[in-house]
Amino acid sequence: MTWSRWRGDALELALHLTARATKDAFIGPAGDAYRVAIKAPPREGQANLSLRRFIAKAFGVPPSRVSLIAGARSRHKRVRIDAPRQFPIPIEPPPRGGSSGDFADTRSH
């Protein structure tokens, strides 16, 4: 299943968000998305802001380097992480010599 792809040095993730969870956490792959739980409610952008902060901390970047590129009002989201420094979930390394437009299959990890 495909839930990650590299665009140059930026990583894009397809996520399925569960808001109002007991804790912020990566849950695991689920089809074409990676499940993420966030404590914040899905109200007035609170869950999206919490998701950006959680992703930033997990990937070792400031929140300004995490952007929500799709799904602002949906459980299904796409986020972009510019130059992640650490990898809390199994991610294929970026392709050598360019960017890839295809989501990488990360099930083999």
Q: What is the pLDDT of residues 44-95, one digit of tens each?
A: 999 999 999 999 999 999 999 999 999 999 999 999 999 999 999 998 888 7
Report the C-alpha gap between 50 and 19 in whole angstroms: 10
Q: What is residue 2's predicted lDDT score, i.e. its pLDDT?
A: 86
Q: Give the pTM.
A: 0.85
Higher pLDDT among residues 103 and 5, named by residue: 5
Q: What is the pLDDT of residues 11-34, one digit of tens each?
A: 999 999 999 999 999 999 999 999
- At the second CATH level, the architecture of 2-85 is 2-Layer Sandwich (3.30)
Q: What is residue 97's predicted lDDT score, i.e. its pLDDT?
A: 61
